[in-house]
Amino acid sequence: MKIIYTILTLLVLLLVSCKSDFPVNAEWEEIVVVYGLLDASKDTQFIRINKAYLGEEDALFLAQNSDSLNFKDSLYVQIHKLGFNDNIIMSIPMGTIVIDKEDGLFANDKNIIYMAIPPNGFLTDNNRYGLTILNTNTGNEVSSITEIIDDFSFSGQVEGLPRISFYNPQPDPNVDSSIVFPGQTILWEEVNNGEIYQLDLKFNYVEDNVEKSLTWSQPLETTDGLDMQSKLESIKFFNFLRQSLTKDDSVERYFVDVELLMTVGTEELNTYIKVNEPVTGIAQQKPMFTNINNGLGIFSSRFTYSISKPLSDCTRLYLIEELDRNFYPSPLYDPVSNPCN
């Protein structure tokens, strides 16, 4: 009897618990989400500030409502130049602009971005920088501090490079392919507060009188305290062009130049990128990284630098005669000689 009574009691408790209604959503809490990278190479600084949302309706439906994402006009946002003991030297308020956004899951009718144009010399690596966000309606305050990257250049070898070569034909057909397709090694030195380095090669060309470009991204490099380098491999470069350009005899293409683009990021940005990489292992739970006090996201720094270079005559000749993607001698250059030089 005691066993039967115990089983009945458990069944009653189970039925009661199944009928109980539990609120799925907790009480409302203001959560500020920040994504801001100060860039000393740019005149204008941009920071994106949104709010996390939770409601009784479907999350994808709520995402289509801009009021679910934006704080409207209630935020007072400032960038601060900090000195000794992080005392404020100068403060710059940020205004808002609305920029275009591609269609997607989230509302694009009010894509609000916070922006400021600091005076020359405001961003230097001798100082740290603070961000403060005050909601004037609720009194909620959010803050963060970051180091800054304020300079970059490639090595003198790259800066003085007259042209970039990916093709060097040889009269001997049995010569090693590494001589025919030598590639180009790009050298640089690490900079203060720079932890990660992203090198891109931007291939600029004209197609039927329309200026276009393709960006060939290289693997992300992390500083090791030594001189750094990245090898632009010739075969991969030409394969990238073949895969990115359609073969179409009805179009005419002309090469313009290539740009070497370097984007340098801080240690915090490196951590943020690593944490947000796709999960590939069995464990699907991801750690969370934020350096926003009383909020989520990242406030950090990057620096972008670019330098334009022509391609060698031989490389341009390869584009015209071997690539098979409708490139023609460009009016910007003298006719390519064959044999090239």
> Residue 238: pLDDT above 70?
yes
Spatial separation of the C-alpha atoms in residues 329 and 333, rounded to whole Å: 8
Instruction: Give me the pLDDT at residue 60, please.
Output: 38
User: What is the share, in percent, of the chain residues with pLDDT greater than 70?
Assistant: 79
CA angle 119, 292, 266 (to 5 degrees): 60
Tokens coding 210: 């329309």
pLDDT in tens, 295-317: 999 999 999 999 999 999 999 99
pLDDT in tens, 67-91: 557 887 889 999 999 999 999 999 9
Q: Say how many C-beta atoms besides its own lie within 10 A of residue 341's C-beta.
A: 8
pLDDT in tens, 163-222: 999 999 988 888 888 889 999 999 999 999 999 999 999 999 999 999 999 999 999 999
pLDDT in tens, 248-298: 999 999 999 999 999 999 999 999 998 887 766 665 666 788 999 999 999
> Residue 62: pLDDT above 90?
no
Instruction: Give me the pLDDT at residue 170, please.
Output: 86
Of residues 325 and 23, the one with the higher pLDDT is: 325
Q: What are phi and psi of 273, to 5 degrees?
A: -65, -45
